[in-house]
Amino acid sequence: MNREEARKKAKELVSKMTVAEKASQLKFDAPAIDRLGIPAYNWWNEALHGVARAGTATMFPQAIGLAASFDEELMQEVGEVIATEGRAKYNEQSKRGDRDIYKGLTFWAPNVNIFRDPRWGRGHETYGEDPFLTGKLAVPFIKGIQGDGEHMKAAACAKHFAVHSGPEADRHHFDAKASKKDLEETYLPAFEACVKDGKVEAVMGAYNRTNGDPCCAHEVLMKDYLRGRWGFEGHYLSDCWAVRDFHENHHVTRIPEESVKLALEMGCDLNCGCTYQKVMNAYRAGMIDEKVITESCERLFTTRFLLGMFEETEYDNIPFTVVESKEHLDIADRAALESVVMLKNDGVLPLDKNKIKTIGVIGPNADSRVALMGNYHGTSSRYVTILQGIQNAVSEDTRVLYSEGCDLWKENISGLANPFYPDRLSEAQTVADYSDVVVVVLGLDETLEGEEGDTGNQFSSGDKNDLELPMSQRLLLKGVLDRNKPTIVINMSGSAINLELAEERAAAILQVFYPGGMGGKDVAKILFGEVSPSGKLPVTFYGDGKDLPDFADYSMKNRTYRYYEGTAEYPFGYGLTYGNCLAEKIEAEVNTKAGDKDYALVKVTVKNTGKVDTEDVLQVYIKDEDSEFAVRNHSLCGFKRVKLSAGETKEVAINLDRRAFTSVDEDGNRAIFGKNFTLYAGFSQPDDRSKELTGNACATTKISIN
């Protein structure tokens, strides 16, 4: 069913409703209208990295881990699994009359906000700091969810529109001030890609204001950009209880009825929250016209008709048994493997399970289920922690010793001589002394980085105060490293952490993010060399981060790899493999008469000079050498996963979009301002720090546009 047909059916159905009935359908928990055969429907469902909060489902790595894969094909497969399992659950729940929250087909994912500051607690819900990468991964994810059948398989939602990335504690009253240049250059491109390329069915507004106006009633964002320039035809919804913030926190209105009027007239169709309970009050008071209510109701029922909710669909017979099927779990395993980023390896990895007699596994995240999951997660029927993955992988002759070592985080309790001292440090050091090699598993989990209001967030309403590991873990790591055993550090976090101590003294470092329910099994495959690591950092690791701007400053100056003026600890796009892949040559040709998607063709000759077969991620960056409006450093403009056998050479072709050659002026105008460009191709970005860490420079070529 195309949109025009769905819209026609929606108009016909909505025309039969009373004003009160139409108003009732604008709430996320829309009631049934029995006389018209309309069942109740709860719009609120989540699927950030698998169907969430609705029982058992295939659990993929957290979104930031998926981003580390740099794999568009994988993202579409993940979206397809989510939609298939979502349909299977919907089929069973609907026939049992269960239409409660988290039981519908409208999934409020992906989160395409830009992870501009590593202190933001919700950054692990995103695809990282780069708008190009974010758009490229979000679009296939959306297409996977929505499908290409006669009916929409499920509906995706791009959130949180727009300019939203903390501080979490202030989000209900905060005004994010962004220049026109930063809007067009950083904050809006991923949303534009979701709408224009992904045809996303829904967009969710953010809690905060942007440049003075609340994002759920923002004329510039919602009318000028979204429905104007980009041609968005789906429905718009508020973040949960965001419309209430208009009068309670932002103070742009005085009473709920004024908030209802503002939101509806700006095009906010659906209210997650309670304020739209006042729609009829506003209508009876003459504050809003019935046509505004009707228009939003028609948009919402257009989505429901596209999903086939009032007729038989090709998805009605998807059985519940597809949930956590072997096929789906295999995709989750692949995703976890591709998400692991090896930050350091002095040769200790991969471990030889047949030679090592004793492995020490230490740390508060070593046997943690919570650290596997991230937030906005479903329930896995089986969990494999890092400790269990190692225990299951070693030979029968290998002993695995374990110590938790310390708490994940320990409060500074006054009156103690050393309030942060790890209470099991002596046990951890004993384990190290008795081991041939030590694996220390540190990091965070959703109780230390997450969303404002989440139960258990210890700091800053889910944000981080700094980039340091909790003191208890720092002391544990130092205490273990002091035993002078070959030590592998595994960091489980959804954001950049200062790993300077590990970089200085550990033999190897793996960044594994939150790898999913059975992620420990996949991390073990990396440790023991069954699979070569191939993930790349989707964010910059800044070291101690003391040179970062104020968290609440939304200017992009000195933020992310495109604008950073310092030297990164580990750069965006960086990640090692067990092979040694390099780009030997790059050639590029511009065809100004071609379509925007095929504006330039880049051919890169790549080679694996190592002794191990591997996958790696070829990256292409561009720098405008002429324009004063170009970003300070360089920008990712293309990437592709490449399989390379040991010693193999091949040529890889990547098409560049015309947009790659554009810059943005101070008034927010995007155009090709320069004529001379440098293109870089390699398995990292073209900065000195990446070259230092990998030993390989990018191949470069100059290109001109007349």
The answer to whether the bond into 470 is cis (omega within 30° of 0) is no
The answer to whether the bond into 634 is cis (omega within 30° of 0) is no
Which run of H or E residues covers position 703? strand 699-704
Tell me the sheet residues that pair with 600. Answer: 590, 656
Which run of H or E residues covers position 45? none
| CA 50 – CA 45 distance, rounded (Å) | 11
Give me the amino acid identity at 351. L
Look at residue 692 and give its three-state secondary structure.
helix
- Contact by Cβ (8 Å): 126, 63: yes
Q: Which residues contact 206 (CB under 8 A, 6 or more apart)?
A: 113, 159, 160, 161, 162, 163, 164, 171, 215, 216, 239, 242
Which tokens hold the place of 537? Answer: 């950092």
- Contact by Cβ (8 Å): 178, 187: yes
Nearest alpha-carbon partner for 365 in 386, 380, 349, 345? 386
DSSP class of 470:
P
How far, in Å, are 174, 249, 550 from residue 212 at the CA level?
Answer: 9, 13, 20
Half-sphere exposure of 240 (CA within 13 A, CB side): 10
Torsion sign across C-alpha atoms 46, 50, 53, 55: positive
Decide the pairing of beta strands 635-644 and 614-624.
antiparallel
- Contact by Cβ (8 Å): 678, 684: no
Backbone angles phi, psi at 463, to 5 degrees: -75, 165
How far, in Å, are 424, 436, 502, 567 from residue 427 at the CA level?
Answer: 5, 16, 20, 37
The answer to whether the bond into 686 is cis (omega within 30° of 0) is no
| CA 662 – CA 624 distance, rounded (Å) | 8
Which tokens hold the place of 302? Answer: 């257009």
Backbone angles phi, psi at 194, to 5 degrees: -60, -40
What does the H/E/C string look like for 52-94? ECCCECCCCCCHHHHHHCCCHHHHHHHHHHHHHHHHHHHHHHH
Half-sphere exposure of 127 (CA within 13 A, CB side): 29
- Contact by Cβ (8 Å): 208, 174: yes
Catalytic residue status for 239: yes
* Helix, strand, coil % in the chain, rounded to nearest 5: 35, 20, 45
Which run of H or E residues covers position 161? strand 157-161
Which tokens hold the place of 341? Answer: 């980023």
Torsion sign across C-alpha atoms 352, 358, 364, 370: positive
Q: Among the options 239, 245, 624, 687, which is catalytic?
A: 239
Backbone angles phi, psi at 592, to 5 degrees: -65, -15
Which tokens hold the place of 495? Answer: 């954001």
Give me the amino acid identity at 275. T
Torsion sign across C-alpha atoms 611, 612, 614, 617: negative
- Contact by Cβ (8 Å): 534, 526: no
Which tokens hold the place of 53? Answer: 């909060």
| CA 625 – CA 627 distance, rounded (Å) | 6
Total residues belonging to the chain: 706
Catalytic residue list: 239
